[in-house]
Structure 1
Amino acid sequence: MMHRTIRSGYVSAIRGARVVANKTGVLDRLEAGPHRRSRWLRSLFAIYDFDDLARLDLPWWTFDAIDTVERFLAGRPQARVFEWGSGASTLWLSRRAGEVISVEHDPEWSDMVARKLAGCAHVALRHVPAQAAGEVASRKAGFAGQYFDDYVRAIRDVPGALDLIVIDGRAREVCLREAADRLAPGGMILLDDFRRKRYQVAAEASGLKIARHEGLAVCLPLPDSTAVLTRRRALA
C-alpha cells in the first residue's frame, strides 16, 4: 500500500511539472535534444501516458536494451515477434518488424492499444483474459485468485519459429519456459524488469545466455534492468 501511495504521488507531481514544462518549452527542447539523456529526461514526463510514449516512439525498457533490439531488428526487416504484455512497445515493434503477435490480459488496455494499431495489418493483438481457476498464478500484488494458463500458452497457437519474444506481462517466469524453445536461429528473448530476483532465477534456470542491459530506463527516475536472452553456441 505504501509503495502504491508513493508511486501515485510521484506520478501526480510529474503530471503537474509536465504542464509547466510544456508551457515553458522545456518538453520541446528535450525532444529536440540529440543525446540519450535528453530522451530519457523527456520520457520522465510520459510516465503512464500511453499516447505520449507512442508519440515519442519509445518502449518502456532500458535505453541499452532498446538500442540492442533496434539493431537486431534492423538486420531482420521481416522479423517475427511475439509479445506478452502489449503497450507502447507494441507500437514501437510494429514500426520495425515484419509481423507482431501481442497478447494482453486487460480488456480495456487491449482495446486502447488496438485503436492505436488500427490499419496495421501485420500486427495481431489478442485479448486473453485471466481465469478464475488454473495452475499459473501471477505473483504480482492485486492479482490473487487470477490464473494465466491460457495467456501463457497463447504462444502455442503461433506456428513457426520466432525472431524476437518479448516478456513484459503476467506470469513472466512461466512465459520464459514457454518461450525458450521457440526461438529462430540467432533469435532473442527480452525479459523486462530484470532487477526482480525471481526473474533472474528463472533466466538462470533456462540455460540461455543472459545479457543484462542496465542503466537509464524510459519513464523511470532511477536505473533499471532489462535482460536479453539468447541460445548459447554449441561447443565445436
Structure 2
Amino acid sequence: MQLVKRTYSGMMHAIAGLGALEKLSDDARTSDAYRWQRWTASLLAIHDIDRMVALDLPWWNVAATREAEDYLRARPGARVFEYGAGASTIWLARRAGSVMSVEHHADWHRRLEPMVARFANIELWQRDLTGDAYIGAIDEAGGLFDMIVVDGRRRAECLARAVPHLKPGGVILFDDSGRRRYRHAIETCGLPEQRHFGRSYCVPYPDFTSFLRG
C-alpha cells in the first residue's frame, strides 16, 4: 500500500510540473476553496506541503474544512491544539488566535520549522511517540482549547487525552474517522459525532472527517 501511495504521489508531482497545470494551480489560489478548481489543484499537491500552504488548504474532508472555517470565524482568538503538524497547522494559524501543534517525526518537524516561523501565533513541538510525551503534550500545554485536531499518530489515545481539555462548546476535529481502528474510541468518547463523508483534499476518493462537540 505504501508503494502504491508513493507511486501515486510521484505521478501527481510530475503532472503538477507541466506548464498548463502550473497555471491551474496558480489560478486556484484565488478561487473559492470549496469549489472544484481548488480541490482539483489539491490533487496535484499531495504530499507537497509548499503547494498545500500556497493553496491554503488542510488535508481534510472539504465539507469539514468549511465547517472548521465557519467555527473559527465565529470565535476570534480561538485557542487550538493539534496532534500531527503540516499544512493544516498554517491553515489554522491563519484563522485562529493561537495554534499549538505537536509532531512526532523529527525530520518532518525540522522541515516545518522555517515555515511556521513566519507565524507568531504557532508553537510547534516535537515529541517522541514512545511513552507519554506525544500523547501528553496537551497536558503539558495546559488549559482548555476551543478546537483540538486529532490527525497524527496514536489517535485513539490522543482523543481520550484531548476530551478533558475541550472548552464547553468546543470541537474536536478527528480526521480519517471512517477507519475501523478509530471507531471504538470515537463512539465511546462521550461526545456526539458529526461525520462528514465525501470529497476530500489531495485524494481522488471520498473520505471521512468528524466533529466531536463538547
Alignment TM class, shorter chain as reference: over 0.9
Residue ranges of structure 1 left out of the alignment (5+ in a row): 131-146, 232-236
Preserved CA contact (<8 Å) 2:15 2:21: no
SS at match of 1:207: coil
Relative distance call for 1:99 and 1:33 in structure 2 (3 A) is closer
Query: Which residue, out of 9, 13, 16, partners 1:15?
Result: 13
Preserved CA contact (<8 Å) 1:166 1:191: yes
Preserved CA contact (<8 Å) 1:164 1:187: yes
SS at match of 1:48: coil
User: How far is the alpha carbon of 1:28 from its aligned partner?
Assistant: 3.7
Measure the CA separation in 2 of the matches of 1:38 and 1:68. Answer: 19
SS at match of 1:166: strand
Partner residue, 2:193: 210
Measure the CA separation in 2 of the matches of 1:201 and 1:225. Answer: 15
Relative distance call for 1:5 and 1:105 in structure 2 (3 A) is same
2:98 corresponds to 1:99: yes
User: How far is the alpha carbon of 1:122 from its aligned partner?
Assistant: 1.9
Preserved CA contact (<8 Å) 2:176 2:209: yes
1:183-202 alignment, distance < 5 Å: 183-202=166-185
Measure the CA separation in 1 of the matches of 2:30 and 2:125. Answer: 35
Relative distance call for 1:96 and 1:23 in structure 2 (3 A) is closer
Which region of structure 1 is more displaced relative to structure 2, 40-49 or 3-12?
Answer: 3-12
User: How far is the alpha carbon of 1:177 from its aligned partner?
Assistant: 0.4
Preserved CA contact (<8 Å) 2:28 2:55: no
Q: Which has the larger radius of gyration?
A: 1
Partner residue, 2:128: 129
Equivalent pairs, count: 213
SS at match of 2:42: helix
Measure the CA separation in 2 of the matches of 1:185 and 1:76. Answer: 13
Partner residue, 2:150: 167
Partner residue, 1:5: 3
Measure the CA separation in 2 of the matches of 1:100 and 1:32. Answer: 24
AA aligned to 2:10 is S
Preserved CA contact (<8 Å) 2:72 2:96: yes
SS at match of 1:71: helix
Measure the CA separation in 2 of the matches of 1:116 and 1:25. Answer: 24
2:46 corresponds to 1:47: yes
Partner residue, 2:133: 150
User: How far is the alpha carbon of 1:22 from its aligned partner?
Assistant: 4.0
Preserved CA contact (<8 Å) 2:16 2:22: no
SS at match of 1:76: coil
Residues 148-198 of structure 1, C-alpha deviations (whole Å, 9 max, x = no match): 521001111122211000000110000000011111111000110112012
Q: TM-score, normalised by structure 2?
A: 0.94
Q: TM-score, normalised by structure 1?
A: 0.85
Relative distance call for 1:117 and 1:25 in structure 2 (3 A) is closer
Partner residue, 1:77: 76
Relative distance call for 1:33 and 1:96 in structure 2 (3 A) is closer
Measure the CA separation in 2 of the matches of 1:23 and 1:228. Answer: 34
Measure the CA separation in 2 of the matches of 1:219 and 1:119. Answer: 24
